[in-house]
Structures are given as structure tokens and as C-alpha cells.
Structure 1
Amino acid sequence: MRSLLTPRRLIVVATAAELLVFLSFERETLLVSSAAVLGLLLRCRFPVLGLLLTLPSIAIGQVWLAPMLAMFDVAVTASRRRVVTACGTGLFLAAGCPWPLDSVTELTWQEHLLTVESSLMLSIGPIALGLLARTRAELKERLSELMRSQALGRRLEAERAVVRERSRLARDMHDTVSHHVGIIAVQAGALSATTTDEGVREDAEVIRRHSVSALEELRNVVGVLRGSDAAAASAAGRTQLADLAFLSRESRLDVTLDLDPALAAGSGGQWAPEAESTAFRTVQEALSNVRKHAPGAPAAVSVHMSDDRRALVVEVRNGSAAEPYEGPDLPVGGHGLTGLRERAALIGGTLEARPLEDGGFLVRAVLPAGVE
């Protein structure tokens, strides 16, 4: 519950008290009251000046609240303790100064002692409250800084944990995948060199070429995961749509490629490399799925710009399987299409993958081309 005696309401009360004094129409009272009202108005921007303007009102014993509020502001805002001490001393002297001055000799020592005590309370009280409020504000600010520092520390520790995990994944990927793919490349090369069958030699050469390409891409990806190879980071995954013709031939599938001539000629800086790479990976993964799930089925690949020339539209459509798959079981985890959706979402695109009524399958991606 909020207190009824807020600083602003206290100012209103003090100002009203000063204005009520005007009703006496005494010259001295009118002057000190006017100065006190002006001091209350200036106390927020000029606390020391505001205190000096309110001191006469307490000296003649008319209003005590106005200089106390001004002293509170000085204690809160003053950066030097000397200023607070000097202002507190001035308030103490003004509060202890009897009015009129010739009445000093008429006071008893008990009255003098009571005057000193009341002056001390009137001067020390606002100073103590102001310093307390100032300390509280400083502690609050330091606590906020500490919380921000802790949040930064947690974020940095999380980033370091991610870097360590990426390095571990890079080591495992390199040690495991490169070992098996390297053996495939070596064996395919040996088979290509020793066989006399032209068809087998051609197949072995395709296997060797794909193995070498896989090792190159693996090296780039490992460099990205380690974060130590800037060149690999920029090259990893940077494929071009002009390579789709080669990809279609090497897939050993019945693929019909419909590629926009402007796209086949090279990017030329007209669209983002991320969009081009995502489009290539979409076609690559879709053809891999055709090979695994619909062997012998014809596939149609279409890559064009949208009507407004601001997006790449990639479609891979295949029919139903023409023949049962008789090779070894291939690992199927469902991560390919999930990865394609994530790739498209990262650059602000969409990907649709659904079966067709004729038993085939459709993969369609719409990717922002980055054209201004």
C-alpha cells in the first residue's frame, strides 16, 4: 500500500502552508514566504539554491517543512559530502537562530538547550533520510549491475559449452565418417584400376568421386564446427544451382531437370548464397529419398524464380516405385526432411513435403532470393 505522505504531497502541503502565511500581509513574512515557495519550485533542479531560499522561513519560525524537504534533496543529489555538511550546518544555524534576534537574552539555558536539540533533529533528520534514500538507490543499481553481470556470465558459459560440444562432435565425425568414407574411396579406386569391365570401372569411378567429394565436404563442416577455419566456414555448404545438372546425372535416377537458364548461368550476386545452397540441398535430399523409397521411379526437378522475382521455387516430384528395392537396408531416421524445413525456416522460407494421389511424393520449397 502506498504511503499517503509522498514527497510530492509533502511539497503541496508545505507550499499551501507558505501561501496561507501570505494572508498576514506582513512585509517580512511575505518576503520569506515568497522565497520559500520559489525554493520549493527550484529544489529538484537546483537543490542547494532551493535550500538557501527556504532558510529564512525557518529562521523566523514561520514554516519548517520547506527547508527540511530542500535539505532532503541536497542529501540525495549532492555528490560531495562537504556540500551536505555545509548545507546541514546552515540549516542547523537557521533553525537555532531565535527570532527576533534581541530575544536571545530573554531565553533561559533550558530553552537554549531545547533550541539546540530541535535544530539538530531538524537538520540531521532530513540528511539521514536523504543519505538512506541515496544509498538504497545505489544498492539497487549495483544489484541490477550484478544481475546483468551474472546473466552475461551464464550466457558466456553456455556459449563455451556449445563450443566444447561442437569440438567433440567435430572429432567424432572426423574420426568415424572419414575412416569409413576413406576406405570406400580407396577400394573404389583400386577396383577402377584393376577391373577389365568398363561398366564396373565406370561405377567404381563414380563411387570414388563421390567419396572424395564427401571427404571434402566433411573437412569443411569439421572446420566450421571447430570454428578455427574461416575459409572452410565460408565454403561449407556453399553449393550453386549450376551444379544441379551434374547432381542429376550422378544420381543414377530417371531425372528430368527444368532449371531457369538465368539460374543455371550462375548466381551473379542476384540472390543470397544461403537461398541457392538451400535450394541445392533440397533437390539433393529429395533425390536421395527417391533412391531409397521409390527406386526406379521417374523424378522431375523444377527450379524457377517466382513471378515477382523475389523467391526461388524448388519442386521435386516423383512417381511411385517402379520396382522393389533389393539392395541392403539403408538407415532411415526421418531427419532429412526435418533438416530441410529448418534450413528453409532459417532464411525465412517454407517447405512442403507430402504424398501424391498417384503414389508419388512432392517436395516444394519457396525460398527468399534476397533480391532488393
Structure 2
Amino acid sequence: MRRRRSAAGRVLAATAAAELLAVEGLFAALPLAVCAAALFFLPLRRRLPLTTLCATLPAMLTGHMWLPSMVAMLEMASGRSRHRTAVACALLFAAAACPWPVWEFASMTRQEILTSVEAAALMSTGPTALGLLVATRGELRARLAELTATREREQHLESERAVARERARLAREMHDTIAHHVGIIAVQAGALRAAETDAWKRDTAESIRRHGVQALEELRDMVGVLRASDPAAARSAGRTGLDGLRDLADGSLLEVALDVAELRTAPAGEVENAVFRIVQESLNNVRKHAPGARVAVRVAPGPDGCSLTVEVGNSAPPGAARPPAPHPGPDPAGAGLPGGGYGLVGLRERAELLGGSLSATRSPEGGFLVRAVLPL
């Protein structure tokens, strides 16, 4: 838009200069100087429209140079002040209707006066109408932009409301289905522990009950987040840290060697939570795909001191004749456990969101190693 207006301004200035050159031999030095001054003030029409109009009116009085005053009037009318526009239009009409020299008005016939007034009306109202049209078009463009922005905001708010409704629906489904089944498991495990006399079975039932209760607590937190749509609650829900790794290893039903090095700088809450989830998912995979295997968990700062390295490696399961596949079929200890194949994918996405990386490779001895590097 600015480029088009600048190009139009240059064309108008060149046309006005050509108009001056075409009539320079028809009048004396003073009118020629007045017309030259009108050309000098023409580039100032956008910053000082009224001053430019007043400076170009003497050139219109000569009757040989009309374009600078008309251009200044157009710029004046495209502003916001309607009162100043009316005053400027009246001045332009008076200058266009007045002959040069002024005293020749007394010798003009009625037809000449009417013709002069008609031409002055056209030269004053024409640029004024065009300027008002430009101003109206600008106002319409601004109003259209405002309406478009308002519509986009409304669409955004409607999208947020739709997301909130869907989150509430998911929260209801999670509470009505998952909580029901997990609650039954926890209650039956507690009853089994109370009725069982065998020590190993009692401990197993207690472990099942404890995990069920913990799952219910985390589920309630997540359901609360889904219902409330609270960012602070979302950041804190389900958040666990490095201090929970020992309990996680003890309750994993696996032989886990845990090594957590002392850190000089405490990692952020998101990093601690990611470490916990990486270890948790890795232990779940070992329990499903390599039951009985020994597991080594190591959490230590990286060589550069600006990153945190998490390694979860397991040996080959007892009696394995070949290295296990990354996703083998169900085994006796993990029979019936569902696996969607998204565990490692989710861990890799979690690490990448924090600016880190995660890899999962098979060891030559038949085990598996999950290694993640997260920024501190």
C-alpha cells in the first residue's frame, strides 16, 4: 500500500512539473515563482496537508497550475477532521473561482462567472469526494480487520471450550471405567492379604493393593486436571522425582541395581519427572519382555556437567537362547499384559520436548539398553 501511494505521489509530482513547464512562457517571473513554490510544498502534503494546500492556492489563482492544490485537497479530505476538510474545500473553491488579477472579476460577464463557478465547484468537490472515499475505504479496511480479528478470537475461544468439554468427557470416562476396575483390584487384593496365611502370597497381595491405591491417587489427580483445565495443576499432577526411584525399584518385582549419583545442581521438575517415567517404562518393558532378568539403573550427570544421563539396562532373561526381540510375544510372567507399542515412542517424545534425546539398543549379550540424555 505504501509503495503504491509513493509511486502515485511521484507520478503526480512529475505531472505537476510538466504542467509548469508547459505554461512557463505565458506569465511573468512572480507567478512563475508562485507556481514553483507550489511544487516545492507538494511533497509535504501527507505530513502538512493544510499548509501545503495554503501554499499551493496562489498558484491556482494564476489560472495556469491547478493540480498541486487539487492533490493537496485530496490528501486533506482523506484525513479524519471533517471540519478542516470543509474549510479547505471552501478555500479551494474560492481560489478556483477568483480570476487573476482579482479586479478582472468586475468585467466578467454572467456566463463567464457561471462557468468559473462551475469549474471551481468541480475542482474543489472532486478531490474532496475522492479524499473522503479514500478515508472511508481506510475505515472500512480497519473495521474489516477488527472484525476478522474478533472472529478469530471467537473461534479460538470456541476451540478452547470444545477442548474443555472433551477433557471433561474424558475425565468422566476415565473415572467411570478405569477407577472402577482398579478399585476392584485394590479391594480384592486387600481382602486376599487379610485372608491369606502364606507370607509370600500376603506380600504379593499387599504389593498389588499398594500399586492399585497409588494408581487410583494418580488417576484422581489427572481427572482433576482434565476437569479444571488448570495449567498449574497440570504441571504438578503425577509429578514424581528422583527420590521416588528407590520405591519404584523396590516395587518392580525385579532384581534392580540402582545407582543415582549426587548432583551439584538440582534438575528442574520436568527433568526429574522425565527421569522417573523413563525408568518406570523401562522396568515395565523388562517385566513384560524379559522376566527374571537383572536390571541396572544409573542416573548421573553428563561429562559436560550440563546434562543428565539416564541408563536402564537389563541382561538376557534366564534360559534365553537368543537375544529377545524388541517386542516379543507374551511370556508366562507377563501373559495378558497389553502393550500398544507406544512406550518407547512416548519416552523419546518426552525427551525431545525437553531438548534431550533417547535411544534404545540391544546389547550383544541378549539384553536391552535404554539411554537418555536430558539437559539440566
The answer for the alignment partner of 1:326 in structure 2 is 332
Provide the secondary structure at the position in 2 that maps to 1:255.
strand
**Could you tell me how far 1:54 is from its partner in structure 2?**
0.5
Q: Bigger shift: 107-116 or 283-292? A: 107-116
Q: Measure the CA separation in 2 of the matches of 1:346 and 1:126.
A: 60
Q: Is the 8 A contact 1:174 1:222 kept in 2?
A: yes
Provide the secondary structure at the position in 1 that maps to 2:266.
coil
Q: Is the 8 A contact 1:349 1:366 kept in 2?
A: yes
Q: Measure the CA separation in 2 of the matches of 1:235 and 1:244.
A: 18
Provide the secondary structure at the position in 2 that maps to 1:334.
coil
Q: Measure the CA separation in 1 of the matches of 2:150 and 2:359.
A: 44
Q: Measure the CA separation in 2 of the matches of 1:41 and 1:160.
A: 53
**Could you tell me how far 1:240 is from its partner in structure 2?**
1.3
Provide the secondary structure at the position in 1 that maps to 2:115.
helix
Q: Bigger shift: 248-257 or 338-347? A: 338-347
Q: Measure the CA separation in 2 of the matches of 1:4 and 1:293.
A: 73
**Could you tell me how far 1:353 is from its partner in structure 2?**
2.0
Q: Measure the CA separation in 1 of the matches of 2:6 and 2:336.
A: 80
Is 1:32 matched up with 2:34? yes
**Could you tell me how far 1:20 is from its partner in structure 2?**
7.2
Q: Is the 8 A contact 1:38 1:50 kept in 2?
A: no
Provide the secondary structure at the position in 1 that maps to 2:297.
strand
**Could you tell me how far 1:108 is from its partner in structure 2?**
2.2
Is 1:366 matched up with 2:350? no
- Point out where structure 2 has 5 or more consecutive residues left out of the alignment: 321-330
Q: Given the superposition, is the C-alpha separation of residues 281 and 3 from structure 1 closer, same or farther in structure 2, using an over 3 Å criterion?
A: closer
The answer for the alignment partner of 1:165 in structure 2 is 166
Q: Measure the CA separation in 2 of the matches of 1:173 and 1:253.
A: 29
Give the letter for the 1:191 counterpart. L
The answer for the alignment partner of 1:344 in structure 2 is 351
Q: Report % sequence identity.
A: 50
**Could you tell me how far 1:104 is from its partner in structure 2?**
2.0
- Point out where structure 1 has 5 or more consecutive residues left out of the alignment: 264-268
Give the letter for the 1:351 counterpart. L
Provide the secondary structure at the position in 1 that maps to 2:162.
helix
Give the letter for the 1:150 counterpart. R
**Could you tell me how far 1:71 is from its partner in structure 2?**
0.3
Is 1:284 matched up with 2:280? yes
Q: Is the 8 A contact 1:296 1:323 kept in 2?
A: no
Q: Given the superposition, is the C-alpha separation of residues 191 and 145 from structure 1 closer, same or farther in structure 2, using an over 3 Å criterion?
A: same
Give the letter for the 1:175 counterpart. D
**Could you tell me how far 1:218 is from its partner in structure 2?**
0.8
Note the 1:4-83 alignment, pairs <5 A: 6-15=8-17, 17-18=19-20, 26-77=28-79, 79-83=80-84
Q: Bigger shift: 337-346 or 59-68? A: 337-346
- CA offset digits 1:88-141 (Å, max 9, x no partner): 111011000011223223322222221111111110111111111111122112
**Could you tell me how far 1:85 is from its partner in structure 2?**
1.0
**Could you tell me how far 1:17 is from its partner in structure 2?**
4.0
Provide the secondary structure at the position in 1 that maps to 2:78.
helix
The answer for the alignment partner of 2:208 in structure 1 is 207
The answer for the alignment partner of 2:185 in structure 1 is 184
**Could you tell me how far 1:7 is from its partner in structure 2?**
2.7
The answer for the alignment partner of 2:258 in structure 1 is 257
Q: Measure the CA separation in 2 of the matches of 1:248 and 1:102.
A: 109
The answer for the alignment partner of 2:327 in structure 1 is none
The alignment of Structure 1 onto Structure 2 pairs a total of residues equal to 362
**295, 305, 308: which is aligned to 2:304?**
308
